Structures are given as C-alpha cells and as structure tokens.
Amino acid sequence: MLGLFGLLDLGSRSLTTHRQAVEVAGHNLSNVNNPAYARQRLSLATSLPILGDLGPEGTGVQGVAIVQLRSAALDFQLQRERSVLGSLQAQQDALRSAQSALGQLLDRIDTGAAAEGVGTSHSLADDLASLFDSFQSLSTSPASLVERQNVLMKASALAAQFQGVDQRLDHLRAALDSVVKDDTTQANSLLAQIAQLNAEIARAEIAGPGAANDLRDVRQSRIEDLAKLVKIDVVNGELGAVDVSISGTLMVAGLEVVESMETYVSATGQTLLRAAGTGAAMTLTGGRIQGTIEARDGVVAELRADVNSLASLLITEVNGLHQTGYSLTGSTGADFFVGSTAADIQVNSALRDNPALLQAASVSGAEGDNGVALALAQLARKSHAALGQRTFIQGYTDATFRFGHFLASVNTQLTDQEAVEKMLVRQREAVSGVSLDEEMTDLTRFQAAFQASARLVTVVDDLLNTVVNLKQ
C-alpha cells in the first residue's frame, strides 16, 4: 500500500515526468527548422511497483530515456548519395564555366551583316568561317587593299577569339585548382570537427545514462557535409565514436585525427591530393573534390587541347600556303600567323602594318594573281588527318559536340541524383522531422496530464489535511 505520502510521491513523480515531456516537446518545437535535428521522444515507463496487500501495486510513471528517432540506414544512404551528388554538382559547375569560356551560343535572331539570315553562334566556328570567306573575297580581288585589310581584320578577330577561349579555359583551370585546395582545407577541418565531436560524445555518454542526441545530430551533419566534399567510409567505433576513412586511408580513429589530406602539384602540373602524413597519393571516387578534378583533367582539359590543336593546325596550314605566295611588293616567304598555339596565335604584325605584304599571288611578278588566296579559301573544305579527316569547322563542332554531350549527360545524371537525394531526405524527414501539429498535440496532452497530476497532489493534500485535523 502506497499510503498518502506514497501517493504524494506518485503525484510528484508524475508532475516531473510530464514536465520533462513538455521540455522535450519544447526542444523539438524550437528545433523545427534545424535541418540537422532529429526529433526526440521521452520514453515513459511505469515506476517500479511495490508489493501491497493486494499484490504488486503501481507507483505511477517515470521517464526512462530521451530517444532520438533516426534511421541509421537512411543516414548511411544519404551519406553515400551526397558524395555522388557532390561529384556531379562539381562537374556541372566546372563544365558550365567551360561552356561560358567557349562562348558558344546559338543566336538565330542576330541580324548583323555576318549573320546572313541564319544567325550566329558567337563562336570560333563563326570566326573561322569569316576568315575563309574573307580569303574567298580576296580571291576575287587579290590586289585590292580593302580585301586584304578585311582578311587581316578577320584573322585578327579569329586569333583574339582563340586567345580569349584559351585564356578563359586557363583561368578556369586555375579557379578549379583553388576549389580543390579550398575544399581540401574544409574537408580537413570537418575531419577535425568529427574527431572533436567523437570526444564530446564519449565524454557525455560515459558521464551519465542515455545518448548525447544533440551532439550526435551535429556529428551526423558534419559527416554528411564531409561526404559531399569527399567520399568517406564511416564505421561505428567504441564509446559512441565513429572512424572515418577516405579511399582506404583511416583519417579519424576514435577521438583522434590520425591523417589529413593535402594538395600537391603532380609531375604533369595537376593539383592532386595525397595523405599529409605518409605522402601517399589518394585516388578519390566521389565527392566535390573528385568531381572538380575529374572535370578539370577530363573534359575541360580535352576541350582546351582540341582548341589548341585546331589553332596549331590552322597556323601550320595557313602559313604553309602563305609562305609560298608573293605580295604586292614581290616579297615572299613571310608567315601569315605567328605563334604556335591558341595561347599565342597572332597575325604577323608586318602584314597588319602593311596589307600589301599579304602574299596572295602564287607567281612572282603577277600582283593580280590569286593562286594563294584561292588555295587559302579552299582550305575551309580540306580534311585534315590531325582532325580525324575533318575540316577545321567540323573539327570545332566535333569538339563542342563531345563537350556538350558530356555536359548534357552530367545534367541528366545530376537531375536523377537530385531526385534520389530529395526522396531520401523526404524519407528521413518522415522519420526524424518535427511535426508542429504533433508537438502541439503532445504539448496539450502533457499539459493536461501535468494539470491532472497537480490535481492529484491537491487531493492528497486535502486528504492529509483531513487526516491531520481528525483529532480536532
């Protein structure tokens, strides 16, 4: 039998338990917009019964634990998918920047003189076509200074476009190197934070019963942030800690960061990653850093190489023909373009200063001859082994096709991956998310229970008063 004081104790325990339940609901409510937060519940259980005259007798309720509603399987899946997402997002960012660097934009409503009613593509293809057209015009009036000036202007515009594209792609490469470095710094910082949180969780969980829910939330959020940067493997260790490895290298073991990443410049000039302690190169398989490196050394580098080989071939072919020609002054053997790559292609300044020196004639002493001008114009349709038996413009469109195709495929993969990630987030939200309606209902429920418990205490107080006043 509990007796009146036992009953008072029961009422008091009930008040405490329901106050705790209201506290938990309040904690949930206040974290409603915290994306890292997983809702918590106070687990209730009956207090230990005592043996009375009528057998075991209930002693009310007590809170046994504050539990977190979280699915480890969903957390694991999300962590994996975030690495794939991070890689694809980084590739898309890099490739879109490369697309801007290329400057290829179809514009059908351009009504400029060069548009010919079909618009422009604001690209190297336009400038290449313009140069070959200007050679055609020159072939009709080989001695005309106006046509010569026109050829030199178109050639200068093409050279400037080649240089512009190459420079923009070079700046992009440098920018992507910086992204790799910054992301590596951030990843190292996250590894340190995870180790720190491991320590805090261990301390908190050793000190008392129950799990350090809020610290675990923060750690899970850091793990997912890290997974977005670099693909990681997470294994549960002792004392509630987790071990983190990257590409088979253990980075965080329990409470310690045992290894960190650093960038280095490889023999081929690429900024890559290695383990700072052992110096072993790390080959990443997912995450933003890997995506950035893959795009930088893959498609973007390929595009730049394609533009470069196009420029080099143009310089060789045009110069080869031009050198054999004769200018209006009878001079011969001069180069049309100087430089050897897209980075340094330029029109020979001697020709720019004096268009009469352009060597359009194929024979000496016949300034009106157009042999070389015609051959240069016909270069537009010549197939080149270096371009896979394609013409200059076809070579360029092939390169943009390969690039565009890759970017389009990354776009599709990213859309799919975003859908996967969104579904997982929704599923996790369904398990761990805070529902205002639920919490408000709980609040009302526990408030009523608290009020009822208080009423019990009042009743017991009245009973005690009655007992105390029996003798009066």
Partner 1 sequence: MRVTANTFPADLIRHLGSLAGQQTRLHTQASTGQRIALPEDDPGGVGRAVALQSEAGAMAQYQRNIEHQQQTAQATFSLVQALKKISDRAGEIATLADGLKSPEQLRAYGAEITQLIRQTVQIANTSRDGQFLLAGTRSSQAPFALTEDADGSVAAVVYNGNASTNEVEIAEGVTLTSQVVGGNTTGTGPRGLLIDARAGADFFNHLISLQDHLLAGEAAGVAATDRPQLSRDEENFVFQIALNGALQERLQVAESQARQRKADLQQNLSREVDADLAQTLVRLSQTQTAYQAALQTGGSILSLSLLDYLR
Q: Kindly identify the residues of this chain, within the stretch 95-134, that bind partner 1 according to CB under 8 A.
A: 95-96, 99, 102, 104-109, 114, 116-121, 123, 125-126, 128-130, 132-133
Query: CB neighbours of 381 closer than 8 A, spacing ≥ 6?
Result: 391
301-323 helix and 371-378 helix, angle to the nearest 10 degrees: 160
Q: Is 401 in the site for partner 1 (CB under 8 A)?
A: yes
Measured distance CA(361)–CA(372) in Å, rounded:
5
Q: Which of 4, 32, 280, 448 binds partner 1 (CB under 8 A)?
A: 32
Distance CA 47, CA 63 (A): 9
- Is residue 297 within the footprint of partner 1 (CB under 8 A)? no
* One-letter identity of residue 10: L
Closer Cβ to partner 1, 8 or 374, answer by number:
374
Interacting residue with partner 1 among 48, 236, 437, 472 (CB under 8 A):
437
Provide long-range contacts, Cβ within 8 A and 24+ apart, for 316-322. 317/379, 317/382, 317/384, 318/376, 318/379, 321/372, 321/375, 321/376, 321/379, 322/358, 322/359, 322/372, 322/376
Task: Compose the 307-336 pattern: x for residues touching partner 1 by CB under 8 A, - for all others.
Answer: ---------------------x--------
Cβ 24 to partner 1 shortest distance, Å: 16
Per CB under 8 A, does 446 bind partner 1? no
Position among 74, 192, 425, 457 found at the interface with partner 1 (CB under 8 A): 425
Tokens of 353: 């200063």
Tell me how far, at minimum, the Cβ of 233 lies from partner 1, in Å. 29
Q: Is 377 in the site for partner 1 (CB under 8 A)?
A: yes
Which residue in 338, 380, 414, 457 binds partner 1 (CB under 8 A)? 380
Stretch that binds partner 1, among 17-25, 46-54, 138-146, 218-226 (CB under 8 A): 138-146
Contact region with partner 1 (CB under 8 A), list: 18-26, 166-174, 310-318, 391-399: 391-399
Q: Which is nearer to partner 1, 420 or 431 (CB)?
A: 431
Residue 281, token pair as written in the block:
């190169």
Coil, helix or strand at residue 264: strand
How far is it, in rounded angstroms, from Cα 372 to Cα 322?
A: 7
Q: Per CB under 8 A, which region of 51-59, 140-148, 273-281, 292-300 contacts partner 1?
A: 140-148
**Measured CA angle at 113 (ends 308, 378), to 5 deg:** 50
320: number of Cβ within 10 Å: 13
- Kindly state the smallest distance separating residue 443's Cβ from partner 1, in Å: 8
Residue 288: half-sphere exposure toward Cβ, Cα within 13 Å: 24
Shortest Å, Cβ 400 to partner 1:
5
Among 170, 262, 367, 421, binds partner 1 (CB under 8 A): 367
Residues 333-362 that bind partner 1 (CB under 8 A): 361
With contact defined as beta carbons under 8 Å apart, do 286 and 83 qualify?
Answer: yes
- Neighbouring residues of 167: CB distance < 8 A, sequence distance ≥ 6: 343
R_g (Cα) of the chain, nearest Å: 38
Residues 166-205 within binding reach of partner 1 (CB under 8 A): none
Buried b (16+ CB within 10 A) or exposed e, 122-148: bbbbbbbbbbbbbbbbbbeebbeeebb
Q: Which is nearer to partner 1, 346 or 394 (CB)?
A: 394
- For residue 86, the minimal CB distance to partner 1 (Å) is 19
Q: Which is nearer to partner 1, 22 or 190 (CB)?
A: 22
Of 273, 261, 297, the C-alpha closest to 94 is: 297
- Cβ proximity to partner 1: between 262 and 398 the closer is 398
| Number of residues counted as binding partner 1 (CB under 8 A) | 79
What number of other Cβ atoms are within 10 A of residue 236's Cβ? 9
Residue 298 near partner 1 by CB under 8 A: no
Binding of residue 404 to partner 1 (CB under 8 A):
yes
* String marking each residue 49-68 x if it binds partner 1 according to CB under 8 A: --------------------
Output 141 or 186, the one with its CB closest to partner 1. 141
Q: Which is nearer to partner 1, 82 or 231 (CB)?
A: 82
Among 265, 363, 386, 452, the residue binding partner 1 under the rule CB under 8 A is 363
- Beta carbon nearer to partner 1, 215 or 328: 328
124-140 vs 371-378: helix axis angle to the nearest 10? 150
